[in-house]
Structure 1
Amino acid sequence: MRYRFALIRSFTLSAASGHPAAAGGRTKQESLPNHADVAHLLSDVDWELLAGPVAPYGDWAVENREEFALVGAARLAIVKQACESGKYNAIVLLGGGEPGAPAAREIARRYGIPVTSSAFSQMHVASMVGRRFSFVDLAESHSMHIYDLVLQHGFADRCASIRSINFPHSRPRYDAAGRDLHEEKRKALRGEPSAAVEEAVAAAVEAIEEDGADTILFSCSGTFWLRPFVQKRLAEIGWEVPVLDGLSTSITLAKALIDLGVDASGLVFPGDHPRRWRRKRTF
């Protein structure tokens, strides 16, 4: 079976924002963050990159609970349209904080379409390759959203820590000059020293040595570019530790669900009028 994926962005910003998520006349490969890192995973996939909803809170990247809730609700209509189109056999929700993911899975299950998302995919893969994982995150408010996702997905006993490198998104009343992840990425790709790389490596080492992590994850899509740099540096200093990111794990898990012929349990995501229903739910 040929894989046919809709990759749906979390949000869309104006061109004036200067953010990579801004609308623009670029190819889908140019518009997909870190495409070079996942091109081999998409080589056997017919995929489209769907624009996310226009961010209703302002012209900056999502970071806190309020913003995740707003774009999550707004993205659901795009998920439903993708399912109704009949063009796709899986949906990959972009964005490390996976806004709207549970409701998106509920919608897609009606069409027999699996949905994967970043935190969900990373934590499940991490549980297969190790016992305890740590997230490297970018900001305090974002870390609390990830904390909630760890609990939501039932991985509190497998998460060793969430360590922040404090590179918040630029937003009103905060100027990211000097702590701009996008500029740090450009430096790293040019082969120049990058404070974000150094601090992410330090956070990963501390997670391993102090928190007991055996696998390293990244919580925000804005940090996924750090994965190969951190993986290389950890290997160089002798730590044989898997380093994951949400995009590659989401794509891989979507393929696995298609190959298994499953999407989501109807007992977790029941339809409007299920033929069988439970009188009791236990914990």
Structure 2
Amino acid sequence: MRLLLIQAFSLPPDSPGAYRRMDGATKEEALMNHAAVAPLLAGVEWDLHPGALAPHGNWPVETREEFAIAGVARLPIVREACESGTYDAIVLLGGGDPGFMEAREIGRRHRIPVTANAHAQMHVAMTLGNRFSFVDISETHNAHMAELVVRYRMAHACASIRNIDHPLPRPAYPAGRVTLKGEAEKHAAGERSGMLEAAVEAAIAAITEDGAEVILLGCSAAFWLREPLQTRLLEAGWDVPVLEGYRCAIAMAKMLVGLGVDASGITFPADPPRHKRRRRFV
């Protein structure tokens, strides 16, 4: 099995929002969540594409406009990978799934499954419980996630999207504004992380007030929250699964390859389609 993991975008080295240096890094060093996903990638041949150089600016994406721009920029990478015949599946990294549905259409033409973080999390969640809630990073990001829930036909299963107000480092926020950046380092150093505390509070509220039975992380940059949040919930007496996108998307790609299936040709018709139905249900 050979997988291609494609990052949502890449930032220039001088970007103040970059989480790590990519120049000269190995694929393991460049993969933000490698330590956690390494067991899933064991025995799998995999490559990592850094994604297109961010066309929207030198900061992470958070608005609908930025997600749309990043999605369009990622599609030629997906097309080239599919046409190469090298890969059995493609995994789109990034919590907001930029370009996912369009990438699935490309993948379907080549019979190659394409997975993405939010989509995979929601479907895995529905094998574990009846309703899920997202713990997400900002008001703007929440709005995008809410639209993905509807687009993926999961509105019936989504209990809530809880905002912990630790946005990505972007020019829209003033200097000194608390953002996501640096919170993982605080936790790793044994310091108190306000982001973790907010996530614990939001997750418990989602369970007790909204009826959530599974907790999902909305932003891939918040991947580090999964283990401490899971631990804190268990300590508080809540035996509720906590999911994050990279692992779910990789696991789903492996499953689809193993089953020998990709997307439905009715959901993603050929161009031109071999059959033309007189009626489509929504």
| CA distances 1:155-197 after superposition (whole Å, capped 9, x unpaired) | 1010000001111112224136352323110111122211111
Q: What TM-score, normalized by structure 2, do the two folds share?
A: 0.97
Tell me which of 4, 8, 11 is aligned to 1:13: 11
For 1:91 and 1:152, the matched residues in 2 are separated by: 20
Q: Which residue of 2 aligns with 1:180?
A: 179
For 1:178 and 1:12, the matched residues in 2 are separated by: 23
| CA distances 1:103-129 after superposition (whole Å, capped 9, x unpaired) | 000001111110000110000000110
For 1:281 and 1:49, the matched residues in 2 are separated by: 38
Q: Which residue of 2 aligns with 1:253?
A: 252
Moved more, 165-174 or 93-102: 165-174
| CA distances 1:9-33 after superposition (whole Å, capped 9, x unpaired) | 1011111114126642211111111
For 2:55 and 2:109, the matched residues in 1 are separated by: 28
State the one-letter code of the partner of 2:274: R
Kept after mapping to 1: 8 A contact 2:139/2:163: yes
Aligned residues: 281
For 1:260 and 1:223, the matched residues in 2 are separated by: 30
- Aligned counterparts, 1:208-247, within 5 A: 208-247=207-246
For 1:152 and 1:21, the matched residues in 2 are separated by: 32
Q: Which residue of 2 aligns with 1:68?
A: 67
For 2:240 and 2:31, the matched residues in 1 are separated by: 27
Percent identity of paired positions between Structure 1 and Structure 2: 53
Kept after mapping to 1: 8 A contact 2:169/2:181: no
The root-mean-square deviation of aligned C-alpha atoms, in Å, is 1.2
For 1:176 and 1:98, the matched residues in 2 are separated by: 28
State the one-letter code of the partner of 2:255: A
Query: Cα 1:246–1:173, aligned 2, differ >3 Å: closer, same or farther?
Result: closer
Moved more, 184-193 or 199-208: 184-193
For 1:12 and 1:253, the matched residues in 2 are separated by: 24
Q: Which residue of 1 aligns with 2:279?
A: 280
Moved more, 44-53 or 100-109: 44-53
- Aligned counterparts, 1:139-158, within 5 A: 139-158=138-157
For 2:252 and 2:225, the matched residues in 1 are separated by: 21
Kept after mapping to 2: 8 A contact 1:12/1:21: no
Structure 2: gaps (5+ residues): none
Query: Cα 1:173–1:269, aligned 2, differ >3 Å: closer, same or farther?
Result: closer
| CA distances 1:1-54 after superposition (whole Å, capped 9, x unpaired) | xx2100001011111114126642211111111211111011121111101111
| CA distances 1:226-245 after superposition (whole Å, capped 9, x unpaired) | 11110011111110100000
Q: Which residue of 1 aligns with 2:77?
A: 78
For 2:94 and 2:30, the matched residues in 1 are separated by: 14
Q: Which residue of 2 aligns with 1:134?
A: 133
Q: What TM-score, normalized by structure 1, do the two folds share?
A: 0.96
Pairing 1:265–2:264 present: yes
Query: Cα 1:147–1:173, aligned 2, differ >3 Å: closer, same or farther?
Result: closer
For 1:13 and 1:152, the matched residues in 2 are separated by: 28
Report the secondary structure of 2:39's partner residue.
coil
Moved more, 50-59 or 241-250: 50-59
Report the secondary structure of 1:129's partner residue.
coil
For 1:85 and 1:172, the matched residues in 2 are separated by: 38
